[in-house]
């Protein structure tokens, strides 16, 4: 526990988890992911890259229309730890402005690229009205080379309030697309519901869990 504002799980008595997708929107993978989420009646939070949002606004509009939500993943997916503070602010703020211009609402959640952060980055996101969100378990991992192994790895680690990290852009996410139905089916069999971060936070029974990365 720490006073640093980095969310990685939520205390809840309900069997629900938050699905989060980074790096999109990407026309190679986001449409298929949205199709799968719709098929399984699941909701998710998409941490979008501002440049991708501006290129593929229709995908973000579709996600919102289908009940998903959008978070801030910076404007260009740069390593925030390696650039000046003024550039950090611009990366985060410009992405928020792009999201707000499209959706009419400023994002509530921020995730730094590849999870690299520091107190200055955290403070910038907080000053812009966002909670910094990391994750409990990621579906992509070197120890899980197949879609089946990817889904199984998450299902073995999931617990109430987990935040699950997936990706829908940048690299080849074909295996993630293939693993997603297996994950959602497994979650259903375990009695879990997949929801947005906002929905997950509404069920918290105690203080939110934070940690220092």
Residues that are catalytic: 22, 167
Distance from C-alpha of 189 to C-alpha of 40, rounded to nearest angstrom: 12
Bridge partners (DSSP) listed for residue 144: 141
Question: 131-133 and 109-110: which strand pairing?
Answer: parallel
Phi, psi torsion values for 8, nearest 5 degrees: -130, -10
Phi first, then psi, for residue 109 (nearest 5°) are: -125, 145
Question: Residues 55-77, buried b or exposed e (16+ Cβ, 10 A)?
Answer: ebeebbebbbeeebbbbbbbbeb
- By CB atoms closer than 10 A (0-12, 13-18, 19+), residue 46 is buried
Q: State the CB neighbour count (10 A cutoff) for residue 40.
A: 15
Q: E strand or H helix at 164, and its extent? A: strand 163-167
């Amino acid at each position: 526990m720490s006073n640093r504002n980095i969310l990685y799980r939520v205390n809840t008595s309900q069997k629900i988890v938050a699905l989060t997708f980074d790096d999109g929107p990407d026309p190679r993978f986001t449409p298929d992911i949205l199709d799968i989420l719709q098929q399984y009646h699941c909701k998710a939070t998409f941490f979008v890259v501002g440049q991708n949002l501006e290129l593929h606004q229709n995908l973000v509009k579709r996600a919102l229309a289908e009940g998903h939500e959008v978070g801030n993943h910076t404007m260009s997916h740069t390593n925030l730890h390696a650039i000046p503070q003024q550039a950090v602010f611009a990366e985060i703020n410009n992405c928020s402005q792009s999201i707000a211009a499209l959706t009419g609402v400023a994002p509530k959640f921020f995730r730094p690229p590849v999870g690299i952060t520091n107190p200055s980055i955290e403070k910038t996101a907080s000053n812009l009205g966002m909670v910094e969100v990391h994750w409990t378990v990621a579906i992509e991992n070197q120890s899980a080379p197949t879609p089946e192994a990817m889904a199984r790895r998450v299902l073995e680690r999931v617990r109430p309030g987990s935040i699950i990290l997936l990706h829908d852009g940048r690299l080849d996410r074909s295996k993630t697309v293939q693993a997603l139905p297996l994950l959602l089916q497994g979650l259903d069999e375990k009695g879990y519901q997949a929801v947005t971060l906002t929905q997950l936070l509404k069920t918290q029974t105690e203080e939110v869990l934070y940690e220092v990365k």
